[in-house]
Chains A and B, each alone.
Chain A
Amino acid sequence: MNPHAKLICTVSLIMGTSITISSNHWILAWTGLEINTLAIIPLISKSHHPRAIEATIKYFLTQSTASALILFSSMTNAWSTGQWDITQLNHPTSCLMLTMAIAIKLGLVPFHFWFPEVLQGSSLITALLLSTLMKLPPITLLLLTSQSLNTTLLTLLAISSTLIGGWMGLNQTQTRKILAFSSISHLGWMIMIISYNPQLTILTFILYTIMTSTVFLSLAQIKVLKLSTLLISWTKTPMLNATVMLTLLSLAGLPPLTGFMPKWLIIQELTKQEMTPMATIITMLSLLSLFFYLRLAYHSTITLPPNSSNHMKLWRTNKTLNTPTAILTALSTTLLPLSPLIITML
C-alpha cells in the first residue's frame, strides 16, 4: 500500500479511537466512530479481491447504520433531557436504541451476520485490527452508559452471543471465521457482566485483546488461512504450532492458562449477584467453543496430518525474530498466577 495512505489510515485509526474514548459529548464520540469506520475501509479493501470489496461494503453499511442509530439515540436523549453528556443517558428509548446500536457495532447476536464475512474477506492483520482495536470505542461507550442500560436485554444479548458463537464455530474450516465466532462468544461474556462490574468487562477485553492478537500474529507469521495449512505447519514451525494451540486453548478458557481468569471472575461476580442460573447457562454454552478448540488441538498434535505441503510459501515466514508474538504468547498463557495482583489493580 502507498506509504502515505498507510500513514493516514493508521493515524486516523488511532485518532478516531482516542477521540471516542476521551469524549464527554455524544457528537464527539460519534465523530470518532465515523473516523474509525472510514479509516479502516482502505485497509480492508487493500487487496482488490471481490471478497475483500464485499467485506468492505458490508462493514461500511453496518457500521454507518450503527453510528446513525447512536447519534439518533443521543439526539432523543438530548431532546428529552436537554444535555449531551454520555454518562447521563436517561431516556429509556435512547438506552434501548444505544444498546442495539452498540450490538450492531460489536457484532453481538442477532446483529452478528456481518462479522465472520468481513473477517474472512480481509487480511490477517486487518482482521486483527477489526477484532481488537475497532471494538474498543463501542465498549467504552457501553461502559460509560452501563448503569442506565436494561440489564435483561444485555443478559439476553450475552447469552445468545455465547450460544451462536459456540454453535456456528463448530464446523468452520477457515481460521479467520473461527476467530470471528470466538470473538462473538467473548463479547457475550463481556456484555454479561457489564451491568454488575464494569471493571471485569475491561479486564476481559484486555485479556481477550492479548490472546486474539497472539493468535492473529502467529497465524500471520505462518500465513495460515485455513485449517489444513495450520495442521501441516508443524513440520516447518513446530514451536509456533504448539504455542498457537496453547493460545487457542487459552481463548477457550481452559485453566491453568490466562483465558480462565476472566471466566472465573465473571462467574464469581454473577454468583454474588444471585444470577447463578445465568452463570451456569453461560458456562455450559462456552463448552461448545471449548469443544472445537480441543478437537483442533487433538487433531493437530495427536493425529498427524500428511507431512508434505503444496503451499509454497509455508516455510518462508515473515520475520525470523518476532518479538511482539513472543511477548504476547507468554502473556496469553502464563498470566493466571498473577490474578491476585490483577484483581487488586481493578
Chain B
Amino acid sequence: MALAVTLLNSTCLRSRCYRHKVLQPLLGTVCVDSVSKCSSSYRRPGSQPEVIPSWRNIDFSFKKGFNALKTQLGLLKKETEDHLVGPDGHSFSQYLLEQTKVMWEFRTQEDLNKWVISSDVEIGGKSEVYLKLGRNNQGAMLYGILNTEVPRDGETKYSGYCSMRAKPAVGSFARKKYYDWSNFNCLYLRVRGDGRAWMVNIYTDPYFSHQKDDLYNYFMFTRGGPYWEEIKIPFSKFFLSSRGRVQDDQHPIWLDKISTLGFTLGDKVDGPFQLEIDFIGLLNDRAHTEEFAYETYERNPRI
C-alpha cells in the first residue's frame, strides 16, 4: 500500500519534468493532481486558449427561474383580466366607437426599446444608423449616414439601406401576439423628415414559413421643412412584396393579424439622413372609400 503510494507520487513528480512514455498514459488518470495541473497550464504564445468546459458556466440556482416564472404568471393574470374587460384590455364600446388610436409614441427610453434598428452593416456595408429621443423627449430621431458602397464579397450587387422596425408584441410565456387594426383604414404618422423617400413595411407574421418573407409596403415622402407634417397612408395602398420583389398576385392587406411595422430608407443617395417621428397612429377615415388600389379588374375574365 505504502509502496503503491510512493510509486504514484514518484510518477507525479516525474511528470513535472517529462512525460513518461509508457507509465503516464496508464497512470495519467490516477496521478493527475493540482501540481501537474499548474505545470500544464502554461500556454505557449500563439496557442489556443484553454477551453472552459460548458458545465462550469451553468448557474445551478433556481432563483432566476422562479423570478421569470413569477413575472410570466403575473403577465398571464393581467391578460386574463384584460380578456374579461374587452378586446386589448379596453372596453367593448371603446373598440366599437374608436376612430383613432395611437399605437407607438416616443416619449421615454422604454418606447425606443420597442424598436430595432438595422442597416446594411449586416451584409458588410458601411451605412450607419442611430435612434435616440428627440429634443425635450418629444419624439424619436432616427438618423445616420447612408453609404451605397457595395461590400466586396463577390455576390452582393446593391447596398445602402437603413431601417427601423417595431418589435413584435409578446404575451405571457413568450407567445406571439398580434394587433387587430381591422377597425381602421389609414396609417397616421406625425413626422419631420429631410425630404427623403421612406418605405413603410407591414409584416403580418404568417403561420407557415413559406410566406415568412411576405411584406406589405408603401412609400412615405417627407417634406424636409422645419415644420412637422402629418402623413396619412391608407391601407388600401399597400402592395405585397416578398424578399423585396413585388408580387404578381396582389391582394389587400388583412388587418386583423398585424405583427410589426417598419421604416426603410434605400433611395440610393449617399449622405446623412434624419427622420423625427412624434407618434404613429391609426385612423378610420370615413371619407376614404377605396378598398384596394391595384388590379381591381378581373384578371381572368370568363369569355
Contacts and interface: CB of A to CB of B under 8 A. Distances in A.
B251 interface: yes
Contact of B87 (A50, A54, A171, A303): A171
- The B contact surface, by secondary structure, is loop
Contacts of B211: 50, 53-54
Interface in B276-303: 284-289, 291
B183 to A, nearest CB: 5
A303 B97 CA distance: 10
A173 B180 contact: yes
- The A contact surface, by secondary structure, is helix
Contacts of A197: none
Given A228-B96, A306-B97, A173 B256 contact: yes
Contacts of A227: 96
Interface string A300-341: 000101101110100000000000000000000000000000
A171 B183 contact: no
Contacts of A173: 87, 95, 180, 182-183, 256
B185 A310 contact: yes
A53 B210 CA distance: 11
What size tier do the contact residues of chain A reach? Answer: 20 to 34
Given A58-B207, A227-B96, A231-B96, A310 B256 contact: no
B47 interface: no
Contacts of A117: 207
Interface string B64-98: 00000000000000000001101110001101110
A276 B285 CA distance: 53
Nearest to B92: A295
Contacts of B204: 50
Contacts of A228: 96, 182-183
Contacts of B88: 171
B50 interface: no
Contacts of A231: 96
A299 B92 contact: yes
A9 to B, nearest CB: 17
5 contacts: A167-B83, A173-B180, A227-B96, A295-B92, A306-B97
